[in-house]
């Protein structure tokens, strides 16, 4: 068991997310930075889908009532085990009675605490992930609070052999204040003028303080629409279209000076002009952008996006070989 002494700013249970319910209004949820989460599970010899804690901007204080192995990944936060500084991206042994204290991060947003055997909460629609908007999944459908007690499984066979293993520096992400995000254009981009699309792609957009797991909001640019009158039932604004299903990663313009990119807890549909979709690998990068950070959007083809996905899969296979079979 883990007792939450201090819960941090916004700490939730997350896994790889739930599938099959998006058409019913249930988003996937899951770890916002899937790569960091997955490497954390590799370090403690967990299967990829085992639940972990996702911390936002600030960690927490956790009392362990079981000998186990843990790993911290994602945005670098200062972390102390019984007041001794411990590293990120490394498998660490924790003993019964140990206290792990995780402070704030100065770069990035999301950090992960992975525990051998995983965090044990009830599955909801096939996932342990927290979807706080509808209060489902995770620990009682909400972010953690001081005093919460989390069940954890027994360490998996071979977990203690992982202690001291670390992710190579070249495989750990950097957390910058500027990030290029790759986009597959389409959907209703024809409703944005040529000049507007040019401005969209050449502008550095700034992350708003209102960004969260539902969507990232950007300002600082200016686009123009074609002027086509919205169809019947879509409303009067030139940014309106007839409602349709939104993919995760959709880039939509609610007006000419603001765009929204949907993330893991996103709404499933709506009626805004949508110019394209950020590729899934780059949603990990976007999730680590702090407010006032900037992004520029780069167009890629579907084939190029598939190549990026294959490269990520190969990279994870190499990491698995290094961390679990060496």
What are the phi and psi torsion angles at 319 (to 5°)?
Answer: -60, -40
Helix 280-287 vs helix 34-43: angle between axes, to the nearest 10 degrees? 90
Q: Has residue 39 been placed in a domain? A: yes
Give the burial string for 124-161 (b: 16+ CB within 10 Å, else e). Answer: beebbbbbbeeebbbbebebbeeebebebbebbeebbe
Q: Has residue 6 been placed in a domain? A: yes
Q: How confident is the model at residue 232 (pLDDT cuts 50, 70, 90)?
A: very low
Residues 129 and 27 grouped into a single domain: yes
Q: Has residue 319 been placed in a domain? A: no
Residues 138 and 184 grouped into a single domain: no
Q: Has residue 56 been placed in a domain? A: yes
Q: Is the pLDDT of residue 307 over 90?
A: yes
Distance CA 239, CA 183 (A): 20
| Residue that is last in its domain, among 172, 192, 218 | 172
Q: Name 205's bridge partners.
A: 295
- Average pLDDT over the chain, rounded to whole? 90
Q: Which domain holds residue 111?
A: 2-172
| Residue that is last in its domain, among 156, 172, 188 | 172
Residues 259 and 190 grouped into a single domain: yes
Tokens of 155: 């360490």
- Output the CA–CA distances (angstroms, integers) from residue 267 to 75, 197, 208, in the order listed: 26, 24, 18
Task: Count Cβ atoms below 10 Å from residue 213 Cβ, excluding itself.
Answer: 24
Q: Name 278's bridge partners.
A: 183
Tokens of 21: 């319910």
Are the C-beta atoms of 115 and 68 separated by less than 8 Å? yes
Distance CA 44, CA 69 (A): 6
pLDDT at 253: 86
Are the C-beta atoms of 79 and 54 separated by less than 8 Å? no
> Which of the residue ranges 93-102, 104-113, 182-191 would you say has the lowest mean pLDDT?
182-191
pLDDT at 241: 52
Torsion (CA) 166, 168, 169, 172 in degrees, nearest 10: -80
What are the phi and psi torsion angles at 18 (to 5°)?
Answer: -105, 140
Q: Has residue 30 been placed in a domain? A: yes
267-290 residue pLDDT tens: 776 667 888 999 999 999 999 999
Residues 34 and 159 grouped into a single domain: yes
- For 40, residues 6+ apart whose C-beta sits below 8 A from its C-beta are 52, 71, 72, 73, 74, 112, 113, 114
Q: Is the pLDDT of residue 240 over 60?
A: no
Whether the predicted model's global pTM rises above the 0.75 cut: yes
1-18 residue pLDDT tens: 999 999 999 999 999 999
Q: Is the pLDDT of residue 204 over 60?
A: yes
Number of domains in the chain: 2
SS3 116: coil
Residues 196 and 106 grouped into a single domain: no
Q: Is the pLDDT of residue 325 over 70?
A: yes
Nearest to 272 by CA among 293, 241, 250: 241
Residues 256 and 155 grouped into a single domain: no
Residues 226 and 78 grouped into a single domain: no
- 176: exposed, middle or buried (C-beta count within 10 Å: 0-12, 13-18, 19+)? middle
The percent of residues in the chain predicted with pLDDT above 70, rounded, is 93
Residues 158 and 13 grouped into a single domain: yes
CATH number at residue 225: 2.40.100.10
Q: Has residue 129 been placed in a domain? A: yes
Distance, first Cα to last Cα, the chain: 30
Helix (H) or strand (E) holding 90: none
Q: Has residue 320 been placed in a domain? A: no
Residues 51 and 94 grouped into a single domain: yes
242-268 residue pLDDT tens: 456 778 999 988 888 899 999 999 877
Residues 71 and 188 grouped into a single domain: no
Average pLDDT over residues 216-225: 88
Residues 182 and 80 grouped into a single domain: no
Q: Has residue 316 been placed in a domain? A: no
131-184 residue pLDDT tens: 999 999 999 999 999 999 999 999 998 899 999 999 988 899 999 999 999 999
Residues 142 and 280 grouped into a single domain: no
Q: How confident is the model at residue 231 (pLDDT cuts 50, 70, 90)?
A: low
- 39: exposed, middle or buried (C-beta count within 10 Å: 0-12, 13-18, 19+)? buried
Distance CA 23, CA 88 (A): 37
Q: Higher confidence at residue 25 or residue 241?
A: 25
| Residue that is last in its domain, among 172, 203, 226 | 172
Helix 34-43 vs helix 302-324: angle between axes, to the nearest 10 degrees? 20
């Amino acid at each position: 068991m883990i007792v939450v002494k201090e819960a941090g700013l916004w700490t939730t249970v997350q896994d790889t997310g739930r599938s099959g319910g998006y058409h019913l209004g249930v988003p996937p949820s899951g770890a916002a930075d899937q790569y960091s989460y997955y490497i954390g599970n590799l370090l403690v010899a967990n299967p990829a889908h085992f639940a972990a804690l996702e911390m936002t901007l600030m960690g927490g204080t956790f009392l362990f009532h079981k000998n186990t192995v843990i790993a911290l990944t994602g945005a670098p936060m200062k972390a102390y085990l019984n007041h001794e500084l411990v590293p990120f991206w490394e498998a660490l042994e924790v003993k019964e009675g140990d206290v792990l204290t995780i402070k704030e991060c100065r770069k990035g947003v999301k950090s992960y605490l992975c525990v051998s055997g995983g965090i044990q909460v009830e599955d909801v629609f096939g996932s342990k992930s927290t979807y706080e908007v509808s209060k489902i999944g995770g620990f009682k459908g909400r972010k953690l609070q001081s005093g919460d007690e989390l069940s954890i499984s027994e360490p998996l066979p071979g977990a203690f052999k992982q202690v001291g293993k670390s992710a190579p520096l070249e495989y750990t992400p950097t957390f910058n204040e500027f990030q290029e995000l790759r986009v597959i254009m389409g959907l209703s981009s024809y409703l944005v003028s040529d000049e507007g699309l040019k401005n969209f792609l050449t502008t550095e957009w700034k992350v708003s303080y209102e960004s969260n797991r539902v969507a990232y909001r950007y300002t600082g640019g200016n686009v123009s629409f074609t002027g086509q009158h919205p169809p019947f039932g879509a409303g009067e604004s030139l940014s309106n279209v007839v409602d349709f299903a939104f993919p995760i990663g959709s880039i939509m313009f609610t007006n000419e000076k603001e765009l929204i990119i949907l993330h893991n807890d996103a709404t499933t549909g709506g009626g805004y002009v949508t110019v394209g979709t950020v590729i899934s690998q780059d949603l990990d990068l976007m999730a680590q952008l702090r407010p006032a950070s900037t992004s520029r959007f780069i167009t890629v083809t579907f084939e190029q996006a598939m190549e990026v996905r294959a490269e990520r899969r190969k990279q994870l296979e190499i990491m698995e070989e290094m961390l679990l079979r060496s």
